[in-house]
Chain A
Amino acid sequence: MKRRVLVAMSGGVDSSVAAALLCEQGYEVVGVAMRLTPEATTAGSRRRGTCCSYDDFEDARRVAEKLDFPFYVVDLRHDFQARVIDNFVGEYLRGRTPNPCVMCNREIKFDRLWQRAAALEADFIATGHYARIECDDAGAYHLMRAVDAAKDQSYFLFNLGQDQLARTLFPIGMATKNEVRARARALGLVNADKPESQEICFVPDGDYAGYVERTAPALTRPGRIVGQGGAVLGHHDGIHRFTIGQRRGLGISSEAPLYVRAIDPNTADVEVAARDLLNAKGLVAEQVHLVAGANTAEQFKAEVKIRYRHPVIPGTIRLTERTRAEIWFERAGPAITPGQACVFYRGDEVLGGGMIQRALEG
């Protein structure tokens, strides 16, 4: 009896090759595209480089037709709006910098779509993520970095638990991007050379500030840019335009370079400072999740990633409550951006992570 796997397909080359590999490996593949954003669905509104448009579903559909497996579109717009988009806009308005891809994995792909898979009697759910899952002799599951370090997406998957890992497949985690494209070409898939979507799927032009302004115009307001000591250095059009550590686009002139150090959503003040004042000693994380499930040790050492494209920093994680932790860096760290995900690694393995609430000054 073939095992059934629901493959989340974006229309991109990664999820398409993932589906193809699963077909080859003898699974009963069911392709599913998720309709997440209220995009126009007519052919007249073609726009390349997006996700969830008519075109993207067509690419996924054609792969399903070529490889001869059933294909459906699942409407998750309502949940995506409530759990991902609203969170995104809300975080910016609170002076934080959100990470919607982490949210989408936690709330949509491995929650709502997961329930769908169960209702459809699927044994597994699969995606085109660059990550790996290993199972040890004791039957415990481990989330690992992908073989292709440059493409590794394990950072976004830290919220997966044992139950989910037991029923998840990441078919391309063992491959490099080049191998994936080569495989797509060999299979004659239409999207072999399709450019990747570099941006957040619901903000394809990358203008996050503009998106927030259009979505919540009544909630954005101008404010002051203040230096150390309270000096008012300038004004801005909304705290959502800023992120901690930002240097450019401040609209002020100064002798030494100034960086955004803090954002106060109540006063709408954006505080700037010299670089060395941004270095944090640690951070407080909320919504902490550990992949193994339980953690017996009250504190443990790990390598901490505070942003997707950032090298790991050695540190000590101390759980203060079940889902709250203090992370102390071994040496003075970088600027801490509240709202981002902080992920704990040990070598290639993801131990878990949480959402950055604030920096620890020491």
Chain B
Amino acid sequence: MRIYLDHNAGTPIRPAVREAIAEFLASGLHGNPASVHRSGQYARRELERARARVAALVEAPARSIVFTSCGTEANNLAIVGVAPASGRRRIITSAIEHSSLLAPLAQLERHGFEVIRVRPDCDGTIDPEKVAREMDDQTALVTLGLANAEVGTIQELTPVAETAKRVGATFHLDAVQAAGRLPLAVDTLGCDLMTISAHKIGGPPGIGALYVRPETALAPIMLGGPQEAGLRAGTPNLMGAIGFGIAADESMRLRETETRHLTELSQVLLNELNRDIPALHLNGPRTKRLPNTLNLTFPDALGETFLMALDLEGIEVSMGSACAAGAVEPSHVLSAMGRSATEARSSIRISLGWSTTPEEIAIAGAVIPRAWRRVAGEAMVEARA
């Protein structure tokens, strides 16, 4: 039996989504939404239905949603599509953003942009006043995550939205982890751009979206076709979009129930682990945190070995971001929060999701401390050597 506790990396597909995709496959709908003929028109109709559903998730008009292949592509589009064309040279972000924001920003930095990476405090909170103070009339873009993928910290960014508006900077929110968990009304949040991703909300992988406020100056990065109002060339992933739309519906419908459910389950698990593991440390704030995310530093345990030991027992969690060759690097988020290298290397992220059951949490609560005791033995020897 495998117990999946890595929902921040991706969620299982919701039953309603699975049905919708199966229906699409059975329907024989095959047209290219960009084609002139009737088959294309039917396909286009389905695409637009999906678009409207996704737009409802962020309370925006349907035409402001641009479908992409994933959240990473949407983040790249937000950054590379805005900054170079803006005529300004300054970009504000934070040190704890996802690599799909940090990497294109680093690229722009190499090409002469000034990138300011605001540091978080010790629980991952980004002070919005600090961000606002960095903004001036040379600021092209402010880009921040609404909820952090590693530790789950929920950011309060109203002052940032207000200042961005005042100085004429574009405000982009990475809402990939917030979607399905927090309300995402783009007007309330005051953002010009927002990234979301289907496979984090029970939709299929291979499709994301960028919300683009009308009148926002954005240049496409995928060129060669008129799709998505000229903002993203390429035949869209229609099957994925349909799944994304249903996932958006379900997430909205179930958000409050699931939030209550996950808050309870994660608390049960945390209590159990705290009882069995002395000096266990929760990374991230106690309250302003995604209810499903538990990033924990396990004393004297080498995270890499702990991950393997848990996997061999059927518990699937993660730590940091995996590099291409599969060996694990410690989290840059924890480092930015002031954790030492040792602490970062001893930290594991447990993230619950829509499919997590009380039975799974009960088993995890028993298995995790047992595995920790075995793994902690190894690290002690390491310290002596």
Point out residues on A near B: beta carbons under 8 Å. 30, 33, 35, 41-43, 54, 57, 61, 70, 72-75, 111-112, 115-116, 118-121
Check B312 against A30 for contact (C-beta < 8 Å): yes
Check A42 against B324 for contact (C-beta < 8 Å): yes
Identify the 4 closest CB pairs spanning chains A and B, nearest first: A119-B378, A73-B326, A75-B327, A41-B325
* Known interface pairs A118-B378, A119-B374, A119-B377; A54-B304 also in contact (CB < 8 Å): no
Check A116 against B326 for contact (C-beta < 8 Å): no
Name B's interface SS: helix
Check A54 against B325 for contact (C-beta < 8 Å): yes
Check B327 against A119 for contact (C-beta < 8 Å): no
CB distance from B368 to the nearest CB of A (A): 14
Check B304 against A119 for contact (C-beta < 8 Å): no
Bound-complex Cα distance A73 to B325 (A): 8
Bound-complex Cα distance A112 to B378 (A): 9
State which residues 317-361 of B face A: CB under 8 Å: 323-328
Check B305 against A120 for contact (C-beta < 8 Å): yes
* Known interface pairs A115-B381, A116-B378; A35-B305 also in contact (CB < 8 Å): no
Cβ-closest chain A residue relative to B330: A75
Cβ of B108 < 8 Å from any Cβ of A?
no
B residues in contact with A54, CB < 8 Å: 324-325
Check A70 against B312 for contact (C-beta < 8 Å): yes
Point out residues on B near A: beta carbons under 8 Å. 302, 304-305, 308-309, 311-312, 323-328, 374-375, 377-378, 381-382, 385
A residues in contact with B305, CB < 8 Å: 74, 116, 119-120
Q: What are 14 contact pairs spanning A and B, CB under 8 A?
A: A30-B312, A33-B326, A35-B325, A43-B324, A57-B326, A61-B326, A72-B311, A73-B326, A74-B308, A115-B378, A115-B381, A115-B382, A118-B377, A119-B305
Check A74 against B325 for contact (C-beta < 8 Å): no
Bound-complex Cα distance A30 to B305 (A): 13
CB distance from A40 to the nearest CB of B (A): 9
Check B304 against A74 for contact (C-beta < 8 Å): yes
Cβ-closest chain A residue relative to B313: A121
CB distance from B299 to the nearest CB of A (A): 15
Cβ-closest chain A residue relative to B378: A119
CB distance from B68 to the nearest CB of A (A): 23
* Known interface pairs A41-B324, A61-B326, A72-B326; A120-B382 also in contact (CB < 8 Å): no
A residues in contact with B385, CB < 8 Å: 111
B residues in contact with A41, CB < 8 Å: 323-325
Check A74 against B378 for contact (C-beta < 8 Å): no
B residues in contact with A42, CB < 8 Å: 324
Bound-complex Cα distance A121 to B309 (A): 8
| Count: A-B pairs, CB below 8 Å | 55
Check A70 against B327 for contact (C-beta < 8 Å): no
Cβ-closest chain A residue relative to B305: A119
Cβ-closest chain B residue relative to A33: B326
Bound-complex Cα distance A73 to B378 (A): 17
A residues in contact with B382, CB < 8 Å: 112, 115
Bound-complex Cα distance A357 to B309 (A): 41
Cβ-closest chain A residue relative to B329: A75
Check A73 against B327 for contact (C-beta < 8 Å): yes
- Given B325, B377, B378, which contacts A57 in the complex, CB threshold below 8 Å? B325
CB distance from B277 to the nearest CB of A (A): 16
B residues in contact with A57, CB < 8 Å: 325-326
Bound-complex Cα distance A67 to B381 (A): 33
B residues in contact with A116, CB < 8 Å: 305, 308, 378
Check A70 against B311 for contact (C-beta < 8 Å): yes
A residues in contact with B327, CB < 8 Å: 35, 73-75
Bound-complex Cα distance A70 to B311 (A): 9
A residues in contact with B375, CB < 8 Å: 119
A residues in contact with B378, CB < 8 Å: 115-116, 118-119
Bound-complex Cα distance A337 to B310 (A): 47
Bound-complex Cα distance A43 to B328 (A): 17
Cβ-closest chain B residue relative to A56: B325
Bound-complex Cα distance A35 to B322 (A): 13
Cβ-closest chain A residue relative to B323: A41
A residues in contact with B304, CB < 8 Å: 74-75
Check A75 against B328 for contact (C-beta < 8 Å): yes
B residues in contact with A121, CB < 8 Å: 309, 312, 374
B residues in contact with A75, CB < 8 Å: 304, 327-328
Q: 6 additional contacts, CB 8 Å, given A54-B325, A72-B326, A119-B374?
A: A41-B324, A70-B311, A73-B326, A115-B381, A120-B308, A120-B312
Bound-complex Cα distance A115 to B309 (A): 13
Residue from B304, B323, B325, B326 with most neighbouring chain A CB atoms (10 Å): B325
Bound-complex Cα distance A43 to B324 (A): 9
A residues in contact with B374, CB < 8 Å: 119-121
CB distance from A159 to the nearest CB of B (A): 15
Cβ-closest chain A residue relative to B382: A115
Check A119 against B326 for contact (C-beta < 8 Å): no
Bound-complex Cα distance A301 to B325 (A): 48
A residues in contact with B324, CB < 8 Å: 41-43, 54
CB distance from A84 to the nearest CB of B (A): 14
CB distance from B329 to the nearest CB of A (A): 8
Check A72 against B323 for contact (C-beta < 8 Å): no
Cβ-closest chain A residue relative to B345: A75
Cβ-closest chain A residue relative to B302: A119
Bound-complex Cα distance A54 to B324 (A): 8
CB distance from B378 to the nearest CB of A (A): 4
